[in-house]
């Protein structure tokens, strides 16, 4: 077993709570009522995602460089 580290994006849900996604793991999402709950849930989702990859004899993805920024545009 080895430790993996992934960037998680947390967004406020318009209906309340938060949604989390993992850019390196397409389709790996979770949600929760609080950031703390959402973090717990996304960690479980990542573990399940990686277990599924291993059971299918697929490689565990390593995160590539992810940058986040903000741009301003005129509409």
Q: What is the dihedral of CA 13, 17, 23, 27, to 10 degrees?
A: -90
Kindly report, residue by residue over 58-68, the tens digit of the pLDDT. 999 998 888 88
Q: Considering the entire predicted model, what is its pTM?
A: 0.86
- Residues in the chain, overall count: 75
The helices-and-strands tally (H runs, E runs) of the chain is: 1, 3
Handedness of CA 38, 39, 41, 42 (dihedral sign): positive
Domain ranges for the chain, please list them.
Answer: 9-55
Q: Which CATH number fits domain 9-55: 3.30.420.40, 1.10.579.10, 3.40.50.300, 3.30.160.250?
A: 3.30.160.250
27-41 mean pLDDT: 97
């Amino acid at each position: 077993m080895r430790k993996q580290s992934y960037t998680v994006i947390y967004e406020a849900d318009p209906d309340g709570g938060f949604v989390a996604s993992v850019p390196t793991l397409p389709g790996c999402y979770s949600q929760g009522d609080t950031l703390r709950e959402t973090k717990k849930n996304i960690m479980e989702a990542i573990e399940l995602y990686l277990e599924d990859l291993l059971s299918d004899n697929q490689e565990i993805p390593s995160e590539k460089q992810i940058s986040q920024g903000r741009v301003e545009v005129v509409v």
